[in-house]
A and B are shown apart, each in its own frame.
Chain A
Amino acid sequence: EVQLVESGGGLVQPGRSLRLSCAASGFTFDDYAMHWVRQAPGKGLEWVSSISWNRGDIDYADSVKGRFTISRDNAKNSLYLQMNSLRADDTALYYCTKDIFTVVRGVFDYWGQGTLVTVSS
């Protein structure tokens, strides 16, 4: 059974940093691209970042480019999101998602339960 378990969320002041983690199991992690998708409270879904199986393709939404860094450790079956210079509009539930393909295609076939990031003073 595929499982994606996010951690690392919490309350943080504007301008500070936070690192999210996603522990994957139930599939061959290094065979698939992975993504982060977020959802602000009561709002819709927003793609944040993607990374291919071999880290060869990495990209970010314009809203987070230059502030967030996605990475993965295939030996640990883990995905990460380093978030710097956090702003109030980064407040959201952050989902770790698996791509249906090896390369970054953007079809999110499995989702974690999310980790909540709240940016507030």
Chain B
Amino acid sequence: EIVMTQSPATLSVSPGERATLSCRASQSVSSNLAWYQQKPGQAPRLLIYGAFTRATGIPARFSGSGSGTEFTLTISSLQSEDFAVYYCQQYNNWPRFTFGPGSKVDIK
């Protein structure tokens, strides 16, 4: 099983600032990496797939990068609605899809 790790566990950021979240895979997942956002009491929402392709309706302030084992999600200028938990997920090892433990972005 491919193990996903995320850092930091919690990131405290002020509105308008940039947030950078990291995700690491225990072995290469090529570019088969997705990012999801989950707010309290809500279902997750797909943000990025293919490591850098934004899903439908996702604002351009969200961007993804990386390949192989190291990936990054960047939120260029945090809005109030962006404070949430972010999960990375690999889908290279079909069908053993695995998620990271999540990174929480909260208000500084």
A binding-site residues for B, Cβ under 8 Å: 44-47, 50, 57, 59, 61, 95, 100, 104-114
Contact = CB atoms under 8 A, between A and B. Distances in A.
Given A44-B87, A47-B97, A105-B94, A100 B45 contact: no
Contacts of A112: 43
A42 to B, nearest CB: 11
8 shortest A-B CB distances, which residue pairs?
A106-B91, A111-B43, A59-B95, A47-B97, A106-B97, A45-B99, A107-B49, A109-B46
B57 to A, nearest CB: 10
Contacts of B89: 45, 106, 108
Contact of A104 (B55, B56, B95): B95
B87 to A, nearest CB: 6
Contacts of B73: none
B95 A106 contact: yes
Interface string B66-108: 0000000000000000000001010100111111111000000
B95 A100 contact: no
A63 B32 CA distance: 23
A40 B45 CA distance: 18
Given A104-B94, A105-B94, A106-B94, A44 B99 contact: yes
Interface string B24-65: 000000001010100000111110010000011000000000
Given A50-B95, A104-B94, A44 B43 contact: no
